[in-house]
Each structure stands twice: as structure tokens, then as C-alpha cells.
């Protein structure tokens, strides 16, 4: 098992200055979408990982309750695919242990743990209570900025979002332009039933908190148990007018 420890990340302004022209990203996204039309899962990932974006694509994973299927499909195509894991500093210990379990189980060889910039975090959230005052700002410094830096050098990244999650995800395309990158959503059309069946077929381990009612898991302060029958993401930022952390900002 190979795990990369957090390492110095590129200057954020330099990263943003390196973004390609948005229109060029949109044009390429349209071409890629046509190339993989009708495909999903590993069949979609294989030509993108091994050809279209060879050496320039990463998978971003929270190692949450649904993450194992996408990670398994990616490992089936290429176990050395870079996997970016954002350690916000506020995660459940169970999530990090689950990460280690899945890395070993699937044979992933390039999982990169990325973290917030210490100085930015100290300035924005010195008391650790920013999530109470401004959850968007908290997500921005703990997740959005570290991911922007970590994606430097990649042309595309893979996401595990699905339409059945609802809200802003209900109309997600398979391929989309997202600022300087092309984003791939290989499981976007999968219903919950298919995901559960794939977990069972592959004998994938479950996140340890799922049995305790946590169906969508992020940072500890902003994740809650979900009542039976409620939406799978009802426990994320419960009671707030918020459904996304900010890393999924569509440009097209």
C-alpha cells in the first residue's frame, strides 16, 4: 500500500493563472462527451484514463459511504491512478481508517492526502468554529482551496456524484467543464439500487459509520444521521440552506 503524506502545494494564484481558456475547456468537454456517449463505469473510465487524459487525470474521493464502487472501478482500469483525498482537519477518524482499509483492499498505489494551508486556516478559522459562523467560508478554506492547488498539472478529474442525490445534482451531465478542468461523472446515472448491488457483487467493505445512520459523510460538525426514508444527503449541513461544499462549481 502506498500513501503520500501531505506535501507543499503550488501557489494558488499561479494555479489559477494557469487555467486554460474556458471556451477551449468547453469545446474539449463536448468532444470527450461525444467520444464516451452511452458508456458508464469502467467502460467509460478506460479510454479517458488510458488515452484521452493519460497521465493528466485524477480521481477525487471523500472515502465516504458510496466511494468504494468508483474507487474499485478506477482500480480495475489503473491502480496507479492518482486519488486525491482532502483531509480537512475536521474528518471523522472512521473515515481515515476506512480510507486506509479501501486503499489496501483495492490495491491503490497513489493516494495523495491533501490538506488546507496552515497559514490560511489559522487566519480564517483560528478558533475552529468557522463552520458555525459561515459554513461556505469554512468549506472554501478547508476543501476548495486545497483541491484547486492539488489539481495543478491535471486536465481532468473524476467525481462520484449521481443524479439520484437530487437538488443541484439531478441534471448532471456525464462530462462537464469546470473552470480549468474537465470533470467526469462516470456513475451519474446509476440508481441507488445498482450501487448497492455493485457493493455486494464486489464484496466491498462498508464505511463503519453507515450502520449508525450516517449515509453521506463529510466533516464531523456538518454531518448528521439520516432518518429512515429521508434523502441520502439529508444529514449534510442539516438545517442550513446549503447542499454542496463548493468544490463542484460548474462553469458550463
Give dist(CA 110, CA 116) in Å, integer: 20
Cell output for 169: 445534482
Cα torsion 174, 75, 154, 15 to 10°: value is 100
Q: Which residues are catalytic?
A: 245
The total of other beta-carbon atoms located within 10 Å of residue 111's CB is: 23
**Is 226 in contact with 216 (CB distance < 8 Å)?**
yes
- Residues 163 and 176: their CA atoms lie apart, in Å, by 14
Transcribe 185-209 into DSSP letters.
Answer: -TTTT--HHHHHHHHHHHTPPPPTT
Answer whether 222's CB lies under 8 Å from 236's CB.
Answer: yes
Amino acid at each position: 500500500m502506498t500513501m503520500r503524506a501531505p506535501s507543499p502545494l503550488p501557489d494558488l494564484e499561479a494555479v489559477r493563472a494557469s487555467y486554460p481558456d474556458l471556451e477551449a475547456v468547453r469545446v474539449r468537454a463536448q468532444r470527450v462527451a461525444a467520444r464516451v456517449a452511452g458508456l458508464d463505469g469502467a467502460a467509460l473510465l478506460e479510454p479517458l484514463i488510458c488515452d484521452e487524459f493519460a497521465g493528466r487525470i485524477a480521481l477525487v474521493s471523500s472515502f465516504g459511504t458510496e466511494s468504494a464502487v468508483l474507487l474499485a472501478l478506477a482500480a480495475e482500469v489503473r491502480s496507479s491512478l492518482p486519488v486525491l483525498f482532502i483531509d480537512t482537519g475536521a474528518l471523522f477518524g472512521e473515515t481515515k481508517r476506512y480510507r486506509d482499509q479501501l486503499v489496501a483492499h483495492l490495491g491503490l498505489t497513489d493516494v495523495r492526502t491533501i490538506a488546507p494551508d496552515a497559514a490560511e486556516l489559522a487566519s480564517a478559522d483560528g478558533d475552529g468554529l468557522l463552520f458555525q459562523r459561515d459554513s461556505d467560508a469554512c468549506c472554501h478554506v478547508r476543501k476548495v482551496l486545497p483541491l484547486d492547488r492539488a489539481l495543478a498539472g491535471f486536465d481532468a478529474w473524476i467525481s462520484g456524484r449521481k443524479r439520484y442525490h437530487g437538488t443541484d445534482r439531478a441534471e448532471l451531465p456525464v462530462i462537464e467543464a469546470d473552470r480549468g478542468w474537465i470533470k467526469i461523472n462516470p456513475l451519474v446515472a446509476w440508481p441507488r439500487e445498482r450501487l448497492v448491488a455493485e457493493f455486494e457483487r464486489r464484496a466491498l467493505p462498508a464505511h463503519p459509520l453507515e450502520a449508525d445512520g450516517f449515509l453521506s459523510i463529510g466533516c464531523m460538525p456538518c454531518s448528521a444521521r439520516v432518518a429512515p426514508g429521508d434523502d441520502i444527503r439529508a444529514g449534510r449541513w442539516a438545517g442550513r440552506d446549503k447542499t454542496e461544499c463548493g468544490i463542484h462549481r460548474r462553469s458550463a
